[in-house]
Amino acid sequence: MDRRTLIKGAIASAATLSSAAALASAPPASKLKAIRRAVDADFDRSLTRIKDWMRLPTVAAEKLNVEQGADYMAKLATEAGFTRVRKVATGGNPAVFGVLDAGAKRTIGLYFMYDVKQYDEPGWSSPPLEPVMFDHPMGRALRGRGACNHKGPEGTFLAAIHAFRAAGVPLPVNLVLLAEGEEEIGSPNLRNALKDAEVLAELQRADAVFMPTPMQGLKGEVAISLGAKGMIECELIASGERWDRGAVQDIHSGMKAAVDSPVWRLIEALSTLVKDGGNTPAIDGWFEHYRPLTDRQRVMLAKLNGTSTDAEVKASLGVKKWIDDLPLAEAMERMTSEPTVNIEGLVAGYTGPGGKTILPTRATAKLDFRIVPDMKAADCVAKLRAHLAKRGFSDIEIKVSGNYDPTETSETSGLVLAQQAFLDRRGLEHTITPRIAGSYPGYIYTGEPLRKPFNQFGLGMGGKAHAPDEFYLIESNNPKVAGLREATMGHVEFLYMLASIA
C-alpha cells in the first residue's frame, strides 16, 4: 500500500468547518497528562520495538518468514495487553487475532498487516532491513522496508496501548485486533478469517474498524479517506504447453518461420484488454456496474483541488504529464473514479543482458486491475475470463493471486465524525477524499457480513512505501506534523473521541 503517496501533494487540505467536535466529549486532561509521561518515558522502547519488527520481513509473494512473522505479530499483541491472542488459519498466511477487553461500552476493531513489500528494488541509501535514523527535511526519520508501510504506524498504535497501561489508565474502548500477512499480495485469504466464529463474533461487536496510518501532509493537514478502489492482481500466462501450439520448450528462434509464439499470443490477448493507449479498460462488460461519482463526491473533490499547483503535484509524484495532458482537477477525478488495467511486469524468454535467439515457450504478464463501486472483484475476474475466452484465448492461464472489492464508508459514520472532531480539537486542517486511487481490503469490514465503518487514520508522516528509502517520521521539526510521540498521543486522544461518538 502506498496511500499516502497517492494523495500527498495531490490533495492539500482546505479547512472545513465541522460540527463533529461538538458531538464529542473532551478527553480527560489529567489522564492525558499521565499517558503523555508514559509515552515520553517509553520512547526508546517504542522506537526499538518498530526497528526490531522491521528486521523480520514477511514477504507474502516470496513466502518469506510467514510463520515467524505471524508469531512475532502475536508476541507484539500479547505484550501490548491483548488476550486470547492466536493465529487464525485462512488457507494462506495465518491471520493473528486478539482482544483487549477494557470493560468499555464501545468496541473498536483494528486492522493490521504484518507483511511488507519486497525489498529487492535498487536505489536504497542504506540496507532496507537495517533500520536507521536519518535527517529528513521534516526532521529525523526512520528508514527501511516497513518503516511507514506499515510497521512504524502500527508500532505507534501499540505504543499508545502500552502507555495507557504504564500510566495505569484503562482504555476508553475495547479493542479487537485482526492482523493479516498477505496485504501486499492483495489479501487473497483475509476474508477466510471471518469464518472463524470467535473472530466474526468479536468483530461484529465493533462499532468501527480502522488501520493506524500516518495521514498528515507537509503542513500537518489530513485528508480523511472514505474509501478505496478494489483490486484484482493476477498473472496472464501464455504457454506452448497449455496452448498446445508453439514449442514445448524454448527453441531456436529461426523456427519462428513455422512455429507459433506464445509471446505474440500474450501480446495479442493483452491488446484486447485496453484502448486509448492502455488508459481505458476494454474488457467486455467491464463498466456494467460502474457507478459514476455522485454530486456530493464531486463537491468533495472540488474542495480538495486548488491548494496545490499542478507542477507541485507532478513533482511530488514523479510524473511528467497526466493522461491526455489533463488539467490537475480532471487527473485527480480520474484517480478517484476510473477503473484501471495496469501491467506491473512482463517476463518472457531471455531476460538477461543482450539477446538470445530463442522462441520462448512461455510468456507472463503481471497485471493489476483497480475497480470502483459497484464493480465486484469476483464478477470482474469472471468477465476477464469470458472476454479472453470469447476471443479464443481460453488457453491463456489467469492466475489470480489477490482480489478484493472496493470499499466505502459514509462521511456521517461515527468513525469519520470522530476523526473530524479529533482533528478540529487539534486545530489541524482536514478534508475528505471520497476514494483513494490505491486499494486496501476495507471491504472485509465495510462489506457483508460486518458492514462496519472502516478507514485508515492517524497522525504522523511517512513515505516511499513500495520504493527505495521508505521512511517514517520519528522526530518532527514542524509542530503541526506529528513525530512518533505526538502520533502516539494522537491515537490516545482519538480512542477517547471514538469512545464518545463512534
Q: Restricting to residues 119-148, which ones interact with a second copy according to CB under 8 A?
A: 120-121
- Which residue is associated with the grid cell 480523511? 224
166 grid coordinates: 504504564
Between 372 and 501, CB nearer to a second copy: 372
Stretch that binds a second copy, among 41-49, 58-66, 85-93, 484-492 (CB under 8 A): 58-66
C-alpha dist (Å) from residue 121 to 113, 131, 348, 465: 21, 16, 20, 12
| CA proximity to 164, closest of 500, 494, 501 | 494
Binding mask 22-41 for a second copy (x = CB under 8 A): --------------------
229 grid coordinates: 478502489
Secondary element (H or E) of residue 489? helix 484-501
Q: Restricting to residues 70-99, which ones interact with a second copy according to CB under 8 A?
A: none
The yes or no reply on residue 304 touching a second copy (CB under 8 A) is: no
The yes or no reply on residue 268 touching a second copy (CB under 8 A) is: yes
Q: How far is the CB of 286 from a second copy (least distance, A)?
A: 14
The yes or no reply on residue 370 touching a second copy (CB under 8 A) is: yes
Q: How far is the CB of 415 from a second copy (least distance, A)?
A: 23
Between 339 and 490, CB nearer to a second copy: 339
Stretch that binds a second copy, among 85-93, 287-295, 362-370, 443-451 (CB under 8 A): 362-370
Mention every residue, 6+ apart, whose C-beta is less than 8 A from residue 475: 139, 140, 483, 484
Binding mask 201-240 for a second copy (x = CB under 8 A): ----------------------------x-x-xxx----x
- Which residue is associated with the grid cell 492461464? 397
Binding residue for a second copy (CB under 8 A) from 46, 156, 439, 488? 439
C-alpha dist (Å) from residue 46 to 96, 111, 161, 341, 472: 21, 20, 11, 40, 13
| CA proximity to 440, closest of 135, 227, 162 | 227
The yes or no reply on residue 373 touching a second copy (CB under 8 A) is: no
Q: How far is the CB of 290 from a second copy (least distance, A)?
A: 13
Instruction: Give the Cα separation of 114 and 279 in Å (integer).
Output: 33
Q: How far is the CB of 253 from a second copy (least distance, A)?
A: 4
Task: Give CA torsion, residues 469, 212, 167, 141, to 10 deg.
Answer: 10
Instruction: Give the Cα separation of 385 and 381 in Å (integer).
Output: 6
The yes or no reply on residue 366 touching a second copy (CB under 8 A) is: yes
Binding residue for a second copy (CB under 8 A) from 175, 176, 190, 270? 270
β-strands 471-476, 227-239 pairing: unpaired
Stretch that binds a second copy, among 23-31, 210-218, 323-331, 405-413 (CB under 8 A): 323-331
Mention every residue, 6+ apart, whose C-beta is less than 8 A from residue 477: 138, 139
Binding residue for a second copy (CB under 8 A) from 76, 88, 215, 341? 341
The yes or no reply on residue 249 touching a second copy (CB under 8 A) is: yes
Give the three-state DSSP class for 382: helix
The yes or no reply on residue 398 touching a second copy (CB under 8 A) is: no
Stretch that binds a second copy, among 25-33, 55-63, 80-88, 284-292 (CB under 8 A): 55-63
144 grid coordinates: 527501511
Binding residue for a second copy (CB under 8 A) from 44, 258, 449, 479? 258
Binding residue for a second copy (CB under 8 A) from 142, 437, 459, 492? 437
Instruction: Give the Cα separation of 106 and 488 in Å (integer).
Output: 20
